[in-house]
Amino acid sequence: MGPSVSRVAVSKLPMVGAMFWATKIVATTLGESASNFVTMAPLNLGYAVGAMIFLMAFGVTLAMQLKADRFHPVVFWSVILTTSIVGTSMSDYINRTAGLGYAGGSILLTSLLVIVLIGWRMTGQTMDVERIATTEGEVLYWTATLVSNTLGTSSGDFLSGGLGLGFRDSSLLLSGAMLVILAAHYLTPISGTALFWAAYVLTRPLGAVAENAVEKPVAQGGLGSGTTVTSSALLAVLAILVGRQMVGGHHVTRKVDAAFATDSHDPQPVGPSTATSTDGYAGKPPGRHSHRGEGDRADL
């Protein structure tokens, strides 16, 4: 019997670092503003119509992402953006039109996210985003992303409106929570995957309250810039960040041993995945702790 051949799969998700988090926050903040632009002022189409429009947009971008053969910054961040937009409109519909309120909507969506993450874990697919290299794993990732971005709007509204903290104090609170997670990543043995998902979820309400702090009228605690100006400025910043990833060494296609894409094959994979690029850039192995064989950690 000849030697076994290692199967290689390609991860279509970006490596996690400062650029990832900066782009994620801008994209989710833009999602809040873009949704308000369509569902409220100036288009005033309503939450239900907006949610249907954005769901179709999400379906298109997700289909492009799933069909891609490598990481494409424009496609990937388009899916993140559409999940943020549709999440905002669905959250507003649940909380306001359906009458669940900010607290009720937050509890419902938090429960749904927990169910999604537990179900993901039970499938045996890795939850380390830098090792996701299967279609099933990617579908689970986008399902969790859509739910977390919907939850983000509800939780942001709950903090600023339900608890009466206001937009600016809510932004400071969420920023502080992000710093605590960052410190825990470097100073504690807490699972990097758990910390990643905590930070991943928190970026959405952070973006929501930050956007409201800029967009909303002064009488409501904002700066009064309006949705048109806010959306245009955020779109420009997002375009710059995505463009930077396309030309500046972040456009990386990572090859992962297919056995490492599922925790059920080897819960303690040893050796980092390799990283290659179409422009000759050699990426670093994913995960600060990969050399320890901790395949379920994701570098913040």
Q: Whole-angstrom distance between the N-terminal and C-terminal Cα of the chain?
A: 43
pLDDT at 265: 42
Paired tokens of 167: 């937009």
Low-confidence ranges of the chain (pLDDT < 70): 1-9, 249-254, 257-300
Supply the pTM of this predicted model: 0.82
- In angstroms, the CA 28 to CA 281 distance is 28
Spell out the alpha helix ranges (H) of 126-165: 135-157
- Encode pLDDT of 17-36 as tens digits: 999 999 999 999 999 899 98
Cα–Cα nearest to 168, from 114, 132, 127, 211: 211
pLDDT at 217: 86
pLDDT at 273: 39
- In angstroms, the CA 201 to CA 205 distance is 8
- Encode pLDDT of 158-204 as tens digits: 999 999 999 989 999 999 999 999 999 999 999 998 999 999 999 98
The answer to whether 299 and 17 are in contact (CB under 8 A) is yes
- In angstroms, the CA 65 to CA 12 distance is 8
pLDDT at 247: 86
pLDDT at 259: 58
**Angle formed at CA 80 by CA 249 and CA 109, multiple of 5 degrees:** 140
pLDDT at 168: 87
